[in-house]
């Protein structure tokens, strides 16, 4: 018994879509801008195979995996194990790292925006910059000496 499943974002899955979706294990979907001429592709498509069927036809399923077809293995009512190509796994890890970097950059931008939007904080920053420019500050060494710290 073999069941095929295909998961993709149908609303974004067209030749005219501007963004390519990819998803993380957590279910969060990220998009990146599609490059000119780049084809849309299904995010994940696999065959769901009971473990007994896999045992019987291991060679043919391994060949499918080598050709880029992921295989989900069902034991009882759980399909929690999958066979995928190593290069596919490396690609997913690369996309995950790209997503992490994008999230970190977005967090930095949000933080910067929040600071810039806070008028009181921006006034304090401007006054501090002016104090530094006018030499109205003490060095860390002088502060430590003043406080009796070594």
Residue 66 structural domain: 3-86
Residue 146 sits in the same domain as residue 78: no
- The confidence band for 19, taking pLDDT boundaries of 50, 70 and 90, is very low
Tokens of 30: 């990220």
| pLDDT, position 38 | 62
| pLDDT, position 9 | 35
Residue 76 sits in the same domain as residue 125: no
Residue 18 sits in the same domain as residue 81: yes
CA distances from 18 to 15, 35, 44, 78, 80 (A): 9, 8, 19, 36, 33
Of the candidates 6, 32, 13, which has an alpha carbon nearest to the alpha carbon of residue 94? 32
Residue 9 sits in the same domain as residue 81: yes
pLDDT in tens, 49-87: 999 999 999 999 999 999 989 998 988 878 788 899 999
22, part of any domain? yes
35, part of any domain? yes
99, part of any domain? no
pLDDT in tens, 114-143: 999 999 999 999 999 999 999 999 999 999
| pLDDT, position 76 | 85
* 85-99: b (≥16 Cβ within 10 Å) or e: eeeeeeebeeeeeeb
Other CB atoms within 10 A of residue 74 CB: 18
Residue with more model confidence, 38 or 108 = 108
Residue 21 sits in the same domain as residue 66: yes
114, part of any domain? no
Residue 76 sits in the same domain as residue 123: no
Distance CA 103, CA 9 (A): 21
126, part of any domain? yes
* Number of domains making up the chain: 2
Residue with more model confidence, 44 or 96 = 96
24, part of any domain? yes
96, part of any domain? no
Residue 8 sits in the same domain as residue 72: yes
Average of per-residue pLDDT across 87-116: 94
Residue 10 sits in the same domain as residue 57: yes
Question: Which residues have CB under 8 Å from 129's CB, separation 6+?
Answer: none
Residue 56 sits in the same domain as residue 126: no
48, part of any domain? yes
């Amino acid at each position: 018994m073999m069941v095929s499943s295909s998961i993709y974002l149908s609303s974004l899955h067209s030749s005219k879509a501007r963004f390519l979706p990819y998803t993380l294990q957590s279910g969060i979907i990220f998009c990146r801008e599609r490059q000119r001429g780049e084809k849309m592709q299904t995010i994940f498509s696999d065959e769901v195979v009971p473990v007994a069927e896999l045992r019987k036809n291991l060679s043919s399923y391994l060949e499918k995996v080598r050709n880029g077809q992921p295989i989900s293995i069902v034991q009882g009512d759980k399909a929690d194990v999958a066979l995928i190509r190593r290069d596919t796994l490396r690609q997913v890890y690369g996309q995950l790292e790209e997503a992490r970097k994008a999230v970190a950059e977005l967090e930095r931008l949000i933080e910067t925006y929040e600071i810039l939007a806070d008028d009181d904080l921006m006034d304090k920053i401007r006054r501090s910059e002016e104090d530094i420019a006018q030499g109205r500050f003490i060095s860390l060494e002088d502060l430590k000496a003043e406080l009796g710290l070594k």
